[in-house]
A and B are shown apart, each in its own frame.
Chain A
Amino acid sequence: MDKLKKFAVDYVTYVVKGSPVFYAWIAFLCLLILGLLYGTFLHATDGLRYTGLTDQVHDGLYLANFVFLVGVAAAAVTIVFPAYVYHHQALHKVAVLGEMLAIAAVVMCMLFIVSHMGRPDRLWHMLPIIGIYNIPHSMLAWDTLVLLGYLILNFVGGFYYLYKKYTGEPLNNKFYLPLIYVSIVWALSIHTVTAFLLNTLPARPMWHHSMMPIRFISTAFSAGPALIILIFLIVRTRTRLWIDNAAIDLLATIVTYCLGLALFLTLSEVVTSLYANTEHAHGLYYLMFGKHGFTDLVPWFWGSVAANIVAFVILLTPHWRKNYRLLALACVLAFSGIWVEKGMGLLVPGFIPTPIGEFTQYFPTTLEILVTLGNWAVGFFILTVLLKGAIGILLGDIRYVATTPEMATSASAGVVTAPESV
């Protein structure tokens, strides 16, 4: 118990200390979080009236970010899987960073859901026993279940690993490895269920196809590792933790394959829907070319396609992929391309036209953007803290030093004898 207390204290003291750049970054995030607080206050007092949402397009930026971030959370598996199943050495060393990312991403998901909900104060209605939990019928109930489970798995797995590193004790593999394997399968489940959330609604023909889960997973496994590569590159240059090229290269390969698959699936969807161009294709048509003079999403769609294709070409060329500046560019492009594709490109046109054929455009308001940035800021705040702590432990900067009386005397004896030995 004492060890655990000490772990917490050491962890926190290490994490709060940092360079001016670190403080500046935290201050910047806090500024954005202030915006979130303001927005949340308005949502709580006046409802969602300051959003651009309407009865026609009633899910927007918040739900889109949720969907996207579930993918990012699931993408931790692209580190954990090669590390533990294929025993990839370079990734094995830093696998815990993936788990930290997963924790931050799931927390962001939950924040976005809270922003999205009309009555977050009634969330307790979803708790089993005191509330009603509509399982197995409601996909949202399933989604909550898998996301919470994933959060717990990663939290326990990640911090167990860090704690053992901290104390220098060996891992109990009987406990740890099953946890890892379960979390690998679980990662797939979170994004699959999130896809089911949308594609089980025949009232929204744009989503109602069986390709959705695999498309979600392929886009997630390109955007997620892209973000991880960027984080790794930053960690390599900003901290003393060196991440091997082998790790980055493997992730880059994963991004390449998955991005290729994602592009292929987009193409399949376009051909399938637009060949016959029935009324069910109106949403996609509106997204790609506009309809009835409404073209607001068209630049988003083509921008995202362009970003993804450029990223794919860079990644596909070994010579360019190995150039980490170009690789970083490709990752930024893939990440933002997929963010647009899943957000403005998938969620919003699902509501346009409405089931009765009405075209209403959706424009996020400033407040919505503020809240969105704020939620991301909380996520990055958590991510920064978690990564800093984890890196400190991996580097051995945070380490268990026993403070029992004998140890203390011997330590002080050590200090006393030190000058003599010099």
Chain B
Amino acid sequence: MAAPGQVRRKHVTNKEKICNPEGGCTCAGQAPGAAAAENISSRRNFLKSTSMLSLNSLLGTAALMTMSDDAQANTAWAEWFQGNYRLMSDEEKARARARLERRYTREYGKAVTVDGTPPQEGVLMGYALNIKKCIGCRRCAKACVEENNTSRGKDQEIEWIRVLKMEKGEFSQEKMNQGYPEGLGIQVGGNAYSPAGVVMEGEHYYQPKAVPEKDSVYMPIACMQCEKPPCVKVCPVRTTYREADGPVVIDYNWCIGCRMCMSACPYWARRFNWSDPNLPKEAMNPVTHYLGNRPRMKGVVEKCTFCIQRTRKGRYPACVEACPVGARKFGNLLDPNSEVSRIIARKHVFRLKVEQNTFPKFFYFMD
């Protein structure tokens, strides 16, 4: 019953993908045994690297921050005991951010800022994507990884944006009369098992020589910032919530890692940190927001936040800036003159999985 155009690979997971410099992802289709063996060896390396790291950070600490081990322990302790960000007073929030800034600065060896800009009155962030223009180059996905400090490398690679490639499929004249059965029975047409364009059943590990490929359409997906987000409803500790200006955010320090939200999301937008993220110091983006791209820790969930660290400062999300064909539009839904509002008013727009009643603020459109 395997329909053509629905290529599925075995054992490909986000834990095992290898990133190539072009920004695409190669699948390391490993046998389970090999994966296990590799896990073991990577654990050894990991242990080695952590001991190196702690040595480095010890030396670095003395030089850089003159912060003693005690102070480090205190920071960890204070972080562990801090309350839910949303419920903190402004002063507590500032203290929590300052604490993080110190820690990140120490860990990544550069001046890291953790911003806390609150939502602005009269703003509701919205996104619109021109599905006809997208060429499937995945520069948005790559820009997102760089901007948002997501884990990279072969042990654990996290990408918030996935671009689904959907092949055109065929609905052909020749097959018209090739159905079954002849005579009695339910008549099935010859084109029954050749889907002509498949929505939400695309391939997102495609490895083209060049994009766009012939007869393919591309549908990038990420968190849809639902107006009625099921992920928020199921979270037992309300660590994930909708901000007043639209994005659904996560207080990474409050998440207990139960992964209920991942089960609830109909768009497969959430990712889990199966281990401490692998974020090289030199590649770390030091301009962060508490609810956005600050480095995460093991055991918590993360996802797209509409680049809250940029958009609250009046900039575009990284993916919007990276898109070479201008397929991505972002703006204020409450402003009738913003680009997204005009698109929604004038173009053919649709949202994904409307039957789920999640009311995404991520719209697709075509000219």
Interfacial residues, chain A to chain B (CB-CB below 8 A): 46-56, 58-59, 116-123, 125-126, 131-134, 137-141, 144, 197-198, 200-204, 279, 291-294, 350-351, 353-361, 363, 365-366
Contact bitstring B254-291, A, C-beta under 8 A = 1, else 0 = 11111110111111101111111000000000000000
Shortest distance in angstroms between B45's beta carbon and chain A's nearest beta carbon?
12
| B8 with A117: CB separation less than 8 A | no
Lowest 6 CB-CB distances: which A-B pairs, in order? A118-B257, A118-B299, A357-B201, A47-B298, A54-B13, A203-B266
| A49 with B275: CB separation less than 8 A | yes
With A47-B276, A55-B14 given, is the CB distance from A122 to B238 under 8 Å? no
- Note all chain A residues with C-beta closer than 8 A to B162: 356
From 153 to 210 in chain B, residues with beta carbon under 8 angstroms from any chain A beta carbon are 155-156, 158, 162, 164, 198, 200-202, 204
CA A293 to CA B6, docked complex, whole Å: 12
Known: A123-B256, A138-B236. 9 other contacts (CB 8 A): A54-B14, A54-B15, A55-B268, A117-B299, A131-B237, A140-B260, A357-B202, A360-B12, A361-B10
CA A351 to CA B259, docked complex, whole Å: 12
From A58, A140, A365, give the contact of B272 (CB < 8 A). A58
CA A292 to CA B10, docked complex, whole Å: 10
CA A294 to CA B2, docked complex, whole Å: 10
Interfacial residues, chain B to chain A (CB-CB below 8 A): 1-2, 6, 8, 10-15, 32, 36, 39, 43, 46, 80, 84, 87, 155-156, 158, 162, 164, 198, 200-202, 204, 221, 230, 233-239, 254-260, 262-268, 270-276, 298-301, 353, 356
From A59, A122, A144, A292, give the contact of B259 (CB < 8 A). A59
Shortest distance in angstroms between A265's beta carbon and chain B's nearest beta carbon?
22
- Note all chain A residues with C-beta closer than 8 A to B270: 55
From B2, B43, B275, B356, give the contact of A293 (CB < 8 A). B2
Shortest distance in angstroms between B117's beta carbon and chain A's nearest beta carbon?
23
With A46-B46, A119-B257 given, is the CB distance from A140 to B234 under 8 Å? yes
From B10, B233, B256, give the contact of A137 (CB < 8 A). B233
19 of the cross-chain contacts (CB-CB < 8 Å) are A46-B46, A46-B276, A48-B274, A49-B39, A49-B274, A55-B13, A55-B158, A59-B263, A118-B259, A122-B255, A123-B256, A125-B239, A131-B237, A140-B234, A202-B230, A279-B201, A294-B8, A356-B268, A366-B36
- Note all chain B residues with C-beta closer than 8 A to A359: 8
- Note all chain B residues with C-beta closer than 8 A to A58: 259, 262-263, 272
Shortest distance in angstroms between A406's beta carbon and chain B's nearest beta carbon?
55
- Note all chain A residues with C-beta closer than 8 A to B238: 132, 134
From A51, A125, A356, give the contact of B164 (CB < 8 A). A356
CA A372 to CA B201, docked complex, whole Å: 34
| A203 with B265: CB separation less than 8 A | yes
CA A292 to CA B235, docked complex, whole Å: 33
From A53, A201, A365, give the contact of B230 (CB < 8 A). A201
| Residue ID in chain A nearest B357 by CB atoms | A202
Shortest distance in angstroms between A290's beta carbon and chain B's nearest beta carbon?
9
With A47-B299, A49-B156, A366-B36 given, is the CB distance from A117 to B256 under 8 Å? yes
Shortest distance in angstroms between A346's beta carbon and chain B's nearest beta carbon?
13
CA A197 to CA B162, docked complex, whole Å: 28
| Residue ID in chain A nearest B205 by CB atoms | A358
Shortest distance in angstroms between B341's beta carbon and chain A's nearest beta carbon?
28
| B204 with A358: CB separation less than 8 A | yes
Shortest distance in angstroms between A357's beta carbon and chain B's nearest beta carbon?
3
With A126-B256, A359-B8 given, is the CB distance from A144 to B236 under 8 Å? yes
A46, A52, A121, A363 interface centre (most CB from chain B within 10 Å): A46
| Residue ID in chain A nearest B264 by CB atoms | A201
CA A325 to CA B110, docked complex, whole Å: 71
| A126 with B259: CB separation less than 8 A | no
| Residue ID in chain B nearest A50 by CB atoms | B39
- Note all chain B residues with C-beta closer than 8 A to A121: 80
CA A277 to CA B237, docked complex, whole Å: 37
- Note all chain A residues with C-beta closer than 8 A to B239: 125, 132
- Note all chain A residues with C-beta closer than 8 A to B298: 46-48, 118
| B262 with A55: CB separation less than 8 A | yes
- Note all chain A residues with C-beta closer than 8 A to B300: 118-119
| A119 with B256: CB separation less than 8 A | yes
| A356 with B202: CB separation less than 8 A | yes
Shortest distance in angstroms between A306's beta carbon and chain B's nearest beta carbon?
24
CA A56 to CA B9, docked complex, whole Å: 13
| A133 with B155: CB separation less than 8 A | no
| A202 with B10: CB separation less than 8 A | no
- Note all chain B residues with C-beta closer than 8 A to A119: 255-257, 299-300
